[in-house]
Amino acid sequence: MTERPLQLGAQTELPASPETAQLDRVPNPHADTDYVARFTCPEFTSLCPVTGQPDFAHLVIDYVPDQYLVESKSLKLYLASFRNHGAFHEDCTVAIGKRLAGLLAPRYLRIAGYWYPRGGIPIDVFWQTGTLPAAAWLPDTGVAPYRGRG
């Protein structure tokens, strides 16, 4: 994989779509250590592919890096590129997980997508790859399941 110049420190336009978004990786300075890095996106937005109405989710991405880390500015831009992208909840959540796994080849990666109700039904989507190393501490995602008014 050819490394492109990082977007970090440069003027960067919001990508038009997830497919055109550039995700950057940087070397992991602690590749000899099992640890969990967490990214939380409490205001993720995409579009319903049928109605075009906005969908909202709280995403939690946990991974145990190997040789690479995801660069956070590029991740923010990538996630923001879904704002005008039409896809179902399951597709968005799993596609993000697979794209990160393909870029980083982490020892472990888990994404939890807590989607706000659409048509009265909340949809939570979870995907993971790899096995959590025994030495790594993985806390709960910290997101309560949807309870409505109950």
Q: Tell me the catalytic residues.
A: 48, 55
Rounded CA separation 113/39 (Å): 12
User: Could you tell me the end-to-end alpha-carbon distance of the chain, in angstroms, rounded to an integer?
Assistant: 50
> What is the per-residue DSSP string for 79-129?
HHGGGG-B--HHHHHHHHHHHHHHHH--SEEEEEEEEPPBTTB--EEEEEE
Give a three-class secondary structure readout of 15-29: CCCCCCCCCCEEECC
Please state the φ and ψ torsions of residue 95, each to the nearest 5 degrees.
-65, -40
Q: What is residue 61's three-state secondary structure?
A: strand
